[in-house]
Amino acid sequence: MISYELSTPEQRHERYRSIWISDVHLGTPGCKADYLVDFLKFNESDTLYLVGDIIDGWQLKRGWYWRQSHNDVVQKILRKSRKGTKVIYIAGNHDEALRSFTGMTFGEIEIVNEATHVLMDGRKIWITHGDLFDGIIKHAKWLAYLGDSLYTFILKLNNTFNHLRHKFGMSYWSLSQYLKHRVKNAVSFITEFETVLTDEAKRRGFDGVLCGHIHKAEIREINGILYCNDGDWVESLSAIVETNSGELKIVHWPYRSKVDKKQEQEEEEGLAI
C-alpha cells in the first residue's frame, strides 16, 4: 500500500519497519540538524537507510562549520545502531569519500554504494543516492560546485527567513524550496532525473527505486515503476517510512527540538557567516 500524500504526524513516538533519510548535509549552515534530532528521537525502525549526503564533505573542505546539534545527529544514529536498528549508509556525492570504504562497517553501520530493500508485499526496491545518474555531476562537476555555492547562498536566506518565523512562534516553511520549484529549468531537470532513475530500475529488474539527491520528496509511479525520493533535511525536512502494515508514505517533520540560549546564539552567529 502506498500513500501519495505528505504526512505531518503528531509529535509522538512511532515505530516503523523501515525509515529512509538523505541529504542532511551535516557541516553546513543550511542543515536543520535540530529538526532531525527531534525526528530521530520520536521515530524508531527495524532498518534505517541513510541515502547519501549525510555529511557534506564539499562544504567542510571550504571551511569548518559544525554545531553541537550536528554531533547530536551522529550520536542518535550510532545509539540506534547499538540498540539493534540495522543502519545502512549509501554514499552520495557530497560524502563520496565513503565510497572508498564500501563493504566496511563502522560502529555497526554498513557502508555501501547501493542497496536492495524488499517491501512487505514482495516488491524489490533499488536504493541509490542518485548522483551517478545526474549528468551535471557525471560530466561537468565544476558546474555542480558552482551550483552548490549558489545554493548555499539561497539556504542562508532561507535560514534567516525561518529564524524570524521561529522567533514569532511560527513553524518551518522552506523559502528556498518554494523558489527552486518555481524555476522552469529546475522542474525540467527533476522530471528528467526521475525518468532516468525509473528506467534504470526497470532495466535492472527492480519494481521501484528510492533515492535522494534532488531534495524533492516524492512517491509516485512512472511507467509502471515506483519512484520514491525521501527529500532532505535542509529544505523539506522529510523522510520516507514503511509502516508495519507495509504502507509507504512521506513524513514531513516541522518540529524543532528545544534549544538553549547558547545554541540560539551559535545559530545567530552562523547566519552571519
Could you report the per-residue pLDDT of 109-151, keeping only the tens digit for each? 999 999 999 999 999 999 999 988 754 344 334 334 444 555 5
As to burial, measured by CB atoms within 10 angstroms (0-12 exposed, 13-18 middle, 19+ buried), residue 150 is exposed
The confidence score (pLDDT) of residue 151 equals: 58
Q: What's the pLDDT score for residue 217?
A: 94
Q: What is the pLDDT of residue 106?
A: 86
74: alpha, beta or left? (left if phi > 0; alpha if psi -120 to 50) = alpha
171: CB partners within 8 A, 6+ apart: 165, 254
Q: How many CB atoms lie within 10 A of CB 95?
A: 25
pLDDT of residue 7: 84
Q: Name the 3-class secondary structure at 177.
A: helix
Is pTM beyond 0.85? Reply is no
At 146 the pLDDT is: 42
CB-based burial label for 116 (10 Å; 0-12, 13-18, 19+): exposed
Distance CA 153, CA 222 (A): 33
β-partners of residue 110 are 88, 105
262 alpha carbon, distance to own chain's centre: 27
Each of the 273 residues of the chain gets a pLDDT tens digit; together they read 565 667 888 888 999 999 999 999 999 988 999 999 999 999 999 999 999 999 998 888 888 899 999 999 999 999 999 999 999 999 999 888 999 999 898 888 999 999 999 999 999 999 999 988 754 344 334 334 444 555 565 666 666 766 676 677 766 766 566 555 555 444 455 668 898 899 999 999 999 999 999 888 999 999 999 999 999 999 889 999 999 999 999 999 999 876 554 554 554 455 433
**Alpha carbon separation from 165 to 235, 257, 262 (Å, rounded):** 15, 15, 19
Going from N- to C-terminal start, the domains of the chain cover 2-271
Q: What is the pLDDT of residue 10?
A: 84
pLDDT score for 149: 53
CA 243 – CA 266 distance, rounded (Å): 37
Identify the H or E element spanning 43.
strand 43-50
The reply to whether CATH 3.60.21.10 applies to domain 2-271 is yes
Q: Is 48 exposed, middle or buried (0-12, 13-18, 19+ CB in 10 A)?
A: buried
Torsion of CA 53, 110, 133, 16, to 10 degrees: -80
| Measured distance CA(70)–CA(59) in Å, rounded | 14
Distance, in Å, from the CA atom of 236 to the CA atom of 230, rounded to the nearest integer, reads 9
Q: What pLDDT does residue 58 have?
A: 81
The residue written with cell numbers 536543520 in the block is: 32
Q: Angle at Cα 154 formed by Cα 148 and Cα 158, nearest 5°? A: 135
